[in-house]
A and B are shown apart, each in its own frame.
Chain A
Amino acid sequence: MSAAAIVDTDPVSQPTASVGLSNRFAWLQGLKSPKTLVGLIILAFFVLLAIFGPIFAPYDPSSVSWETLQPPSAAHWLGTTQAGQDVFSQMLYGARISIIVGFCAALLATVVSVVVGLVAGYLGGLTDDLLSLLANVFLVLPSLPLAVILVSLLPKSGSAGIILIIAITGWAWGSRVLRAQTMSLRRRDFVEAARATGERTAKIILHDIMPNEMAIIASSFLGTVTGAILTQASLSFLGLTSVSEWSWGTILYWAQVNSALLMGAWWWFIPAGLAIALLGTSMSLINFGIDEFINPRLRQANAGTKAQAKARRAEAKARKLGAVGLPTRDKVLPPEDHPDSSVVLDVRDLVFGYGVGDDATVAVNHVSFQVRRGEVLGIAGESGSGKSTLANAIARLYRPAATTISGQLLYTNAAGATTDVLTMSDEELRRFRWDELSVVFQSAMNALNPVLTIGTQIDDVLRAHRADMTKAERETKIRELLGLVGIQSDRVRAYPHELSGGMRQRAMIAIGLALDPEIIIMDEPTTALDVVIQRQIIEQLIRLKDELGFTIIFITHDLSLLMELSDTIAIMYAGRLVECSPTRQFYQHPVHPYSQGLLRSFPTLSGAKRELTGIPGSPPDLRHLPPGCPFAPRCDQATERCQEHKPDLRQVMVDNTTIQVACHSLEIPTQPKEDAHVQQH
């Protein structure tokens, strides 16, 4: 379920109905990058020069005159050589050869490296061994000396020969990169899916592998162009090409032969050197934008980032000035404001959003709930419902992209002092996390540091937060913690990759428990695990909770797991809390139509088979929410009012139990449950 989770934590990747430009021309957005644009303009200038230059050249580049070694003047824009030749004309003619050689050699080298890299990477086995050997041989040979040797072996050193030699010496590196990329793409599902449709190997390479490597191919091509122009110049400079054929390299050759540097004739060599450097720069600039050209996903994602960054900066500034968002209030509230000290966390009207303008997404929308000491609160919702954002918001672990934050997060510690987590300073926050609240994430492999042992990682947490503990005390504590979660203490020195998925998740829980926190937030902690291991971990967790008395906020999409595990269930939909009630009550009488739909969606193992009807449609795009209840488009009980007005979360009595629900249907007298009555709160 990792894919689902990825979507959940990354609101930008929500499926969208509309893309700015039509897909066919969307790649043009790559031009929006100023770097790419500048690079392309420089390149276009040189290409035009190569095509039309000789037509406009004022002189024949080879014709000698008496005006020797003249500095730049109106007659000779770039001065003259020792033989009285016009440097400007030489530059114009030279552009043609330099660019042709550069591009043709790069094209040839890229074609060879693509063919070799893709074939070797895709087919593998003996083909791969042989082709890789060949590439490696070329890689270890220094390319310029090799080129020099090859040139001297050529019978005729025309441009065609030079192109061939540059291509021969330049393909190997690209092929290595492409081979590695192909080998990882080969294992991707879409390649297997294409194979499963019976597609031919050649077509798979052409249609599935190559388009995904276009960015690398293009950037390797651009790099090779620069390299080829340089190599050509070097070879010419060394006098290894036909010196009567004008290229930027031959200009440099003649300048060097005639000691232009010694005579201070800077105009003779600087233009050629500058032209080569400029062309190389343009290639690098184009390279910056190449990803946006090729990856359809980046084209879209990139659009908002700049505006977002700007808004973030503005907001940070405003906050510094105390103008935005968080109302100033006393941090520690008097106890009488909070008569019920059994409430450990009181979330009041929490709002949490990303992005600005069209991309603005409110991931957590006016959410309020309370968690009691020692209870298990289960938060369930689909991908994109905001449940993971809520978890991150409570721990204040949100990424910098968060742009709107408001509401209160009142935390009451064991001594009865209440603090608003949202107004904590960085130092208070550091103490609050781990000491009072810890978070266990879904992917233990990503959350654990792969190069440190499990013991060291727990030790790090202890050292950072319990400076007064001695080494021996810490060691005892580590063993005790591992014992608690059911890891044998001889695994202290194990690295994460040496543990199974279940063991890693236990290690994560051990780290979460290290400082005896009051609250543990678990964000899909068992989703990646098999049911048998999941069951073992959940049982262990409940045992620990009963022993140590902490509070668990358990977030998952697996409603059936929550029903078994939690005391209270909160259902989120499109960033809102739609229902929050005691688990048993929820299972027997779900009130919100979405809750009812969820319960009709999953199959049960025991008892009689129920009719499964599911929920029609799919969750809304958070960026384009309907004006009324976000569930209204999928709701079979929706009325006109639901389409227009968002229902508030209210307390309602159902079966003598107080629950919270956000639905208009409960205010209509003809609602299904006759014993429910509304109590305005």
Chain B
Amino acid sequence: MSSNIEPAILSAHEVSKHFRVRGRGFAKAGHLHAVDGVSLDLYAGQITALVGESGCGKSTLARLLAQMYSLTAGEVVFQGATAQASRASAFRRYVADVQLMLQDPYGSFNPVATIEQHLTRAIKVHHPKASRAEVAQIAEDLLRQVHLEPPRQFLDKFPHELSGGQLQRCSIARGLAANPKVFLADEPVSALDVSIRLGVLNLLRELTEVHDVALLYVTHDIASARYFAADTAVMYAGHMVEHGDSEAVTQTPAHPYTRLLIDSAPDPNRPRGTTERTDVGAPPSLIDPPTGCRFHPRCPLATKLCSTTEPPVAVLAPGGQSSAGRPHWAKCWLYSQAPAGFIGPTQQTSTNANTPHRTKEKSDGITK
């Protein structure tokens, strides 16, 4: 495990991504606030899980880190320098270090090309001078690294001839062709069967340790984050709401949303009928997101303050052993002092129509 002083290899600093949404019919055009002011650090040899429901912006954040999308605001820092991969050559250099891996193993392979052709292409991008024999050698080595043996047997196959687990291993092999320092895995096992998932996750963990790679594990399955990742970050509606040691986040969740997520996840240890709850509604529209804390319309504990002002980071516990000294924090007014001028965190407070503190980040409304 990395030590306290080691800096992050890849970081997102207050990144935002707004997509332009075309108006259809009478629906007005606007901007979809997919990710708003999110920061995240990835460390060599460590797995960080990014958890949230579909549409919360976790996949967008992974693509922002991969420089597949341009940033609306904020910056991505790789090895201490701002990553600028707007030009094609710079992007190619960048992806050699930071590789994105996609969810659907069936979809992420070209159906008319063999595994060998896929690997050969990836190898040629990153080893342009390799001879034909060398490329073939590297391709076999890659398949061996992901435990597909004998490699020859897999190279000739078309994607539809392999199982989901085997394809996802090929996908990892393709990513390894670049010898990356960071792996961004977007739901790498969601499309796989339960008995297959563990093998792929263990392979990813093994590669993280052997190659000292930083791994971002994007998932909707918070239980797997507990077992698999040192750190867990929770996103809701484009905001990061909680971050910390995986065991702390899953066992002592602080943010009401994290609690909802954990209460909702199936858990055989919980006897049936113990979680009777009322309808908690659905995530908000991100074209016109709620002000303040984005969870407040669904939150049972929401106060007036929550609906007007975005809560700051509240550190709940200093860093533990496994998260290499990084603290457990949540963005929730439950754990922060109300700002001066705001009378009490109770619901009755009806004063304070225009609070002088920062209302929802109007400032970074810069759009593409």
Interface residues of A (CB under 8 A from B): 1-4, 7, 13, 15-16, 19, 22-23, 188-190, 192-201, 203, 207-208, 211-212, 214, 294-297, 382-383, 486, 500, 502, 530-536, 539, 542, 557-561, 563-565, 587, 597-598, 601-607, 609, 612-616, 618-619
CB of A604 within 8 A of CB of B107, answer: no
| Candidates B103, B111, B121, B196; contact of A207 at CB < 8 Å | B121
- Whether B220 is near chain A, meaning CB under 8 Å from some CB there, is yes
How far is the CB of B286 from the nearest CB of chain A, in Å? 14
How far is the CB of A603 from the nearest CB of chain B, in Å? 4
CB of B266 within 8 A of CB of A197, answer: no
CB of A536 within 8 A of CB of B250, answer: no
CB of B125 within 8 A of CB of A601, answer: no
How far is the CB of A203 from the nearest CB of chain B, in Å? 7
A605 to B265, CA, bound (A): 8
Residues of A within 8 A of B220 (CB): 530-531
CB of A605 within 8 A of CB of B262, answer: yes
CB of B194 within 8 A of CB of A559, answer: yes
Residues of B within 8 A of A618 (CB): 163, 165-166, 196
How far is the CB of B202 from the nearest CB of chain A, in Å? 7
CB of A536 within 8 A of CB of B280, answer: yes
- Whether B304 is near chain A, meaning CB under 8 Å from some CB there, is no
- Whether B226 is near chain A, meaning CB under 8 Å from some CB there, is yes
CB of A601 within 8 A of CB of B195, answer: yes
| Candidates A7, A533, A563, A613; contact of B268 at CB < 8 Å | A563
Considering the complex, give the chain A residue whose CB is closest to the CB of B199. A614
| Candidates A564, A565, A597; contact of B195 at CB < 8 Å | A597
Residues of B within 8 A of A500 (CB): 282
A197 with B161, Cβ < 8 A, contacts A295-B111, A559-B194, A618-B166 known: no
| Candidates B91, B96, B110, B164; contact of A208 at CB < 8 Å | B110
Return 26 A-B CB contacts under 8 Å, by A number. Answer: A3-B105, A15-B166, A23-B158, A189-B108, A190-B108, A193-B109, A194-B121, A197-B99, A197-B175, A197-B178, A198-B126, A211-B112, A295-B112, A296-B158, A297-B158, A486-B279, A531-B53, A535-B265, A535-B277, A557-B194, A563-B268, A601-B198, A602-B194, A605-B226, A605-B267, A606-B267
CB of B99 within 8 A of CB of A23, answer: no
CB of A614 within 8 A of CB of B102, answer: no
Indicate the member of B66, B193, B223 with the most A CB atoms within 10 Å: B193
Residues of A within 8 A of B110 (CB): 190, 194, 207-208, 211-212
Residues of A within 8 A of B66 (CB): 196
A383 to B166, CA, bound (A): 14
A486 to B275, CA, bound (A): 18
CB of A3 within 8 A of CB of B178, answer: no
How far is the CB of A574 from the nearest CB of chain B, in Å? 12
A563 with B266, Cβ < 8 A, contacts A196-B99, A618-B163 known: yes
How far is the CB of B113 from the nearest CB of chain A, in Å? 7
Residues of B within 8 A of A212 (CB): 110-112
| Candidates A2, A199, A382; contact of B193 at CB < 8 Å | A382
A73 to B220, CA, bound (A): 82
Q: Which 3 pairs across A and B sit closest by C-beta, in order of nearness?
A: A614-B198, A563-B268, A189-B107
CB of A539 within 8 A of CB of B276, answer: yes
Interface residues of B (CB under 8 A from A): 53-54, 66, 68, 88, 91-92, 94-96, 99-114, 117, 121-122, 125-126, 156-158, 160-166, 171, 174-175, 177-178, 190-199, 202, 220-224, 226-228, 250-251, 260-270, 272-273, 275-277, 279-280, 282
Residues of B within 8 A of A615 (CB): 195
Residues of A within 8 A of B100 (CB): 192-193, 196
Residues of A within 8 A of B228 (CB): 603
Residues of B within 8 A of A601 (CB): 194-195, 197-198
Residues of A within 8 A of B112 (CB): 211-212, 214, 294-296
Indicate the member of B96, B161, B267 with the most A CB atoms within 10 Å: B161
CB of A196 within 8 A of CB of B262, answer: no
CB of A557 within 8 A of CB of B193, answer: yes
CB of A197 within 8 A of CB of B223, answer: no
CB of B114 within 8 A of CB of A23, answer: yes
How far is the CB of B366 from the nearest CB of chain A, in Å? 20
A193 with B164, Cβ < 8 A, contacts A201-B88, A614-B195 known: no
A22 to B122, CA, bound (A): 24
Residues of B within 8 A of A559 (CB): 194, 268
CB of A604 within 8 A of CB of B269, answer: yes
A619 to B261, CA, bound (A): 31
Residues of A within 8 A of B227 (CB): 603, 609, 612
CB of A564 within 8 A of CB of B268, answer: yes
A19 to B269, CA, bound (A): 45
How far is the CB of B170 from the nearest CB of chain A, in Å? 11
CB of B195 within 8 A of CB of A532, answer: no
Residues of A within 8 A of B104 (CB): 3, 189
CB of B177 within 8 A of CB of A197, answer: yes
Residues of A within 8 A of B91 (CB): 198
Considering the complex, give the chain A residue whose CB is closest to the CB of B298. A532
Residues of A within 8 A of B108 (CB): 189-190, 192-193
Residues of B within 8 A of A619 (CB): 163, 193, 195
Residues of B within 8 A of A200 (CB): 88, 92
A19 with B280, Cβ < 8 A, contacts A193-B174, A196-B66, A587-B268 known: no
Residues of A within 8 A of B126 (CB): 197-198
A533 to B157, CA, bound (A): 39
CB of B68 within 8 A of CB of A561, answer: no
Considering the complex, give the chain A residue whose CB is closest to the CB of B273. A542
CB of A603 within 8 A of CB of B223, answer: yes
A51 to B202, CA, bound (A): 63
Residues of B within 8 A of A607 (CB): 269
Residues of A within 8 A of B202 (CB): 614
* Extra 7 A-B pairs, beta carbons < 8 Å, given A203-B121, A382-B195, A598-B195: A198-B91, A198-B125, A297-B111, A530-B53, A530-B220, A531-B265, A558-B266
